[in-house]
Amino acid sequence: MSNLLNDEFDLYMLVVAHPDDSEFSSAGTVARLTDAGKRVVIIQVTSGDKGCPDPHASPIDIAKNREAEMLEAASRLGVEEVVFLRCPDGELMPDLDLREKIVRMIRTWKPDVIITHDPYRPYALHGDHRAVGLATTDAVYPTARDPLYFPEHFQGGLEPHKTAEIWYFGPEKPDKIVDITSTFDRKIHALEAHASQVGDVKELEIRMRDRARELAENKEFELGEAFKVVQMRR
Ligand SMILES: [Zn+2]
């Protein structure tokens, strides 16, 4: 089990369903990556336009607000690139349409590592999280890699791309715990940017710290974030 960030990789791409998914799962890791000079791109599949308990709220206004919150959170983590695909919140399916959008992102940014939802965790899983995890997995292999898939991409100058690894967050059985002891405060600071979602920050911090401590149990560091790594570039 490794907590090391690999020196040979330069570009990390997160593919997530909603604004705040990347912060809840991976903000401590993202801050470590940007501190190490790595480039991080966040692909937001929806803009979370249904993430509000008020039945009279406008989805357009919610999305606008959540995109602004997301950009602020990203900037607090040193992430310069966030792409909004603006698919409708709560309506994602792991279909060819979603796969094509993600393949296009892979061929555009050429990530070494993709960090996304673990779609194989059983039971309590948001449908959008499952859809993004599955569509991303299928996008990495074989679709983005092989030139006969979505050949129209190549007319615009894109090329096939092999991603080296997928890191699934929220896994049942993690095999990589990243040490986020030094970046935990920045994780909380980034989560605070999602003001419409997080509520009482003190309570959130306690909950997040407990979870991070649990994940780092029996490790030589105090706080961790957990991933399941799958090697793709063989
Ligand atoms: Zn989500």
pLDDT digits over 156-175, tens only? Answer: 899 999 999 999 999 999 99
Q: Name residues with Cβ closer than 5 Å to ligand 1, which is an ion.
A: 17-18, 21
pLDDT digits (tens, 9 = 90+) for 35-76: 999 999 999 999 999 988 899 999 999 999 999 999 999 999
pLDDT digits (tens, 9 = 90+) for 70-120: 999 999 999 999 999 999 999 999 999 999 999 999 999 999 999 999 999
Whether residue 164 contacts residue 113, with contact meaning beta carbons closer than 8 Å, is answered with yes
Mean pLDDT computed over 111-138:
96
Q: How confident is the model at residue 1 (pLDDT cuts 50, 70, 90)?
A: very low
- Residues with Cβ within 8 Å of 46's Cβ and at least 6 positions away in sequence, in order, are 17, 18, 85, 86, 87, 88, 89, 90, 92, 128
Centroid of ligand 1 to alpha carbon of 218 (angstroms): 29
Centroid of ligand 1 to alpha carbon of 220 (angstroms): 31
Centroid of ligand 1 to alpha carbon of 11 (angstroms): 23
pLDDT digits (tens, 9 = 90+) for 180-200: 999 999 999 999 999 999 988
Task: Evaluate if residue 2 carries a pLDDT over 90.
Answer: no
Residue 4's pLDDT is 60
Domains identified in the chain and CATH numbers: 11-231 (3.40.50.10320)
Centroid of ligand 1 to alpha carbon of 18 (angstroms): 4
Centroid of ligand 1 to alpha carbon of 148 (angstroms): 32
- Give the sign of the dihedral formed by CA 40, CA 41, CA 45, CA 47: positive
Centroid of ligand 1 to alpha carbon of 19 (angstroms): 7
Centroid of ligand 1 to alpha carbon of 176 (angstroms): 22
